[in-house]
Amino acid sequence: MKVAVVGATGLVGGEILKVLAERNFPVSELIPVASERSIGKKVSFKGKDYEVVGYDTAIAMKPNVAIFSAGGGTSLAIAPKFAEAGITVVDNSSAWRMDPTKKLVVPEINASTLTPEDKIIANPNCSTIQMVVVMNPLHKKYKIKRVVVSTYQSVTGTGKAAVDQLFNERAGKTEYDKVYPHKIDLNVLPHIDVFLDNGYTKEEMKMVNETKKIMMDDSIQVTATTVRIPTIGGHSESVNIEFENDFDLDEVRSLLAQEEGIIVQDDPKNFLYPMPITAHGKDEVFVGRIRRDETQANTLNLWIVADNLRKGAATNAVQIAEYLAKHHLI
């Protein structure tokens, strides 16, 4: 199977290459793709170097699937050209997520809705993915009414320049490129993406809108506060969920533990709970601190952690491609 990775020289693009190799995706030919300034650069895949090509060259090479991680503007401009050539695109940007004509897919939840006609498939926002993976089995059992989520998101979500800013600050440098409007080291920024007219950020509204679309249920009410913190291992979330029906805590733990892709780490007596430092480099979503909200009926508190470059981006995209290949949709 011919596989193009668009944005192959970026942070997520590199992770996609790693995940394709680790999961033994059946790549017969790899086509690394990037913008003009990166053409001719080399990327490594399974011990072999591949030369980066431009968009037109990649389309002419007719890959079966193109996994995009090249930013929203590039996706809007270039993904339709791939799709018109009969190439299935799995896009990591926000460009197509809320387009009513495009599927927004987390494989554990709604991959079964995909058809051969879906030529541009959207990969959800990283913070949304890890939350809905945990929410889905609970929604089926108890029916979710309302979710209150606060996130603690890694600088890797902003890209390599943000990671550089953190470590430049940590090293005491005074001259460096600033990605954030304030210092990030030893600080917390309640600000991810741009502020909107309603006072929320774009990232917060992504979580609100994408959750309803992925879960295929507009009745689920979500309110979010998204926060950037100086970590690199993954995103963490404090999630408060109100259900229509009551639940048993042991049953909640059992339901989550049975789900593929979820690991329950919930033993506070032995200081076992999810953390970015232990989720780093892993594909699963980790959940712990499972307890009742004692102020309100039928309400649960959870702590959810996942590597945002893996399940939050690269792994989810590759899992979509795996589903397409397995069901002969590409």
Catalytic, out of 126, 139, 182, 280? 126
- Respond yes or no: is residue 182 known to be catalytic: no
Q: State the CB neighbour count (10 A cutoff) for residue 148.
A: 17
- Respond yes or no: is residue 126 known to be catalytic: yes
Alpha carbons 210 and 45: distance in angstroms, whole number: 32
DSSP symbols for 181-195: SS--TT--BS--S-B
Q: Which helix (H) or strand (E) holds 100?
A: none
Nearest one of 44, 47, 33 to 4, comparing CA atoms: 33
Chain Cα centroid distance, residue 166: 21
Q: Tell whether 97 is in a known binding site.
A: yes
pLDDT in 10s for each residue of the chain, 330 residues: 999 999 999 989 999 999 999 999 999 999 999 999 999 999 999 999 999 999 999 999 999 999 999 989 999 999 999 999 999 999 999 999 999 999 999 999 999 999 999 999 999 999 999 999 999 999 999 999 999 999 999 999 999 999 999 999 999 999 999 999 999 999 999 999 999 999 999 999 999 999 999 999 999 999 999 999 999 999 999 999 999 999 999 999 999 999 999 999 999 999 999 999 999 999 999 999 999 999 999 999 999 999 999 999 999 999 999 999 999 999
Domains of the chain in sequence order = 2-124+313-326 (3.40.50.720), 127-308 (3.30.360.10)
Catalytic, out of 139, 182, 191, 235? 235
Q: Tell whether 308 is in a known binding site.
A: yes
Q: Tell whether 153 is in a known binding site.
A: yes
pLDDT at 211: 98
Q: Tell whether 10 is in a known binding site.
A: yes
Q: What is the distance in angstroms between the CA of the first residue and the CA of the last residue of the chain?
A: 9
DSSP symbols for 7-59: TTTSHHHHHHHHHHHHTT---SEEEEE--GGGTT-EEEETTEEEE-B-HHHHH
Q: Tell whether 196 is in a known binding site.
A: no
Q: Tell whether 12 is in a known binding site.
A: yes
Q: Which residue's structure tokens are 């050209």?
A: 81
Q: Tell whether 146 is in a known binding site.
A: no
Chain Cα centroid distance, residue 145: 24
Alpha carbons 58 and 78: distance in angstroms, whole number: 11
Alpha carbons 312 and 125: distance in angstroms, whole number: 7
Q: Tell whether 9 is in a known binding site.
A: yes
pLDDT at 8: 96
pLDDT at 275: 98
φ/ψ (deg, to 5) at 110: -140, 25
